[in-house]
A and B are shown apart, each in its own frame.
Chain A
Amino acid sequence: MHIMEGFLPVAHAAAWGAVSTVCVGFGLRSIANSIKTKPELKMLLGVSTAFTFILSALKLPSLTGSCSHPTGTGLGAILFGPLAMAPVAAIVLLFQAVLLAHGGLTTLGANIFSMGVVGPLAGYGIYRLTRIIGLSTSLTIFLAASLADLATYITTATQLALAFPDPAGGFAASLIKFLGIFAVTQIPLAISEGLLTVLIYSFIQKHSSDELTSLGFNMNAEEERI
């Protein structure tokens, strides 16, 4: 779940807003570049966006006795690189902030930063790293997507802890509290997101291998790894 409307002090809200505006700008440029040179990628970009739409609408129960929702940004980060998901997250978060009172306009910047920037960066980094180690495709996709999800909510907790340090224990005590609320709740959901991303990725791999090749995926090597 995202930071609620009005729940970040003005200075924090403005700072995150500025950072995220820059990131969304870079993201739009990265998307425009890849579509211009390879128009056939529009379909996969749509699939990544649609996946984020679905997953971020699913509020799932967690073992902590509370609910949260996955993000769905790991898939797009794996396919299109970490920048492309910032505008996608911005669209979803804007929809939810304006119509659903979920998240908020004043916290939009902070929420874009966690869901559209840190999550995809983490997912992309983990994907690259696990490829180098040589794990199987399914395992790399699972780890990248679920840890992108988790990284998003660790960021949310950090943002709140920065804004509201505990009067006695300071930033660290606050961080532990917010991590307990967001990150621990998220663990089962992150596992679900990882599994669902493996599911859709294996379909993409089977049916859009030409598009994956033009994204720089080595399909001959991939097929041996499934």
Chain B
Amino acid sequence: MNTRLKNGILIAAVAAVTILPLVIVKHPTARADGTQAVVFKGSDDQAAAAVKTIAPGYKPWFAPIFKTPSPEIDTLLFTLQAAIGAGFIGYYVGYSRGRAKMNANKSDSKHAH
């Protein structure tokens, strides 16, 4: 299969799998007290709630040593983590392409002589 087509299909499929839940999952109606139930919370929060129902007496014995002051700062740090990763992969992609081009040029000039 053509590489570009294959890559396009892969990226489109990832986008579809990610967007689908946003479309399909119904936003729950407001609770009786008027507060809105929250969807797309973290599975770890759900697990914490499950622990509380299974073992109501359990008290977490250690609290996070540092809590970011707001969800915005969380976003900053998660973005930073992804950016470091993406930066390196971008470097690798550019490096590899440049190397391939250089090798191609080298073999061209060999043919010329």
Contacts and interface: CB of A to CB of B under 8 A. Distances in A.
Given A47-B92, A51-B85, A95-B81, A67 B41 contact: yes
Interface in B47-98: 47-48, 50-51, 54-55, 58, 60-68, 74, 77-79, 81-82, 84-89, 92-93, 95-97
Interface in A43-79: 43, 46-47, 49-68
Interface string A161-197: 0001111000000100110011001101001100110
Contacts of B46: 66, 181
Nearest to A43: B92
A191 B16 CA distance: 11
Query: At the interface, is chain B mostly helix, strand, loop or mixed?
Result: helix
Interface in A196-211: 196, 198-200, 202-203, 206-208
Given A10-B61, A49-B85, A50-B89, 9 more contacts: A2-B44, A6-B62, A47-B92, A49-B88, A56-B81, A65-B39, A99-B66, A188-B18, A192-B14
Interface of A: 1-7, 9-10, 43, 46-47, 49-68, 92, 95-106, 160, 164-167, 174, 177-178, 181-182, 185-186, 188, 191-192, 195-196, 198-200, 202-203, 206-208
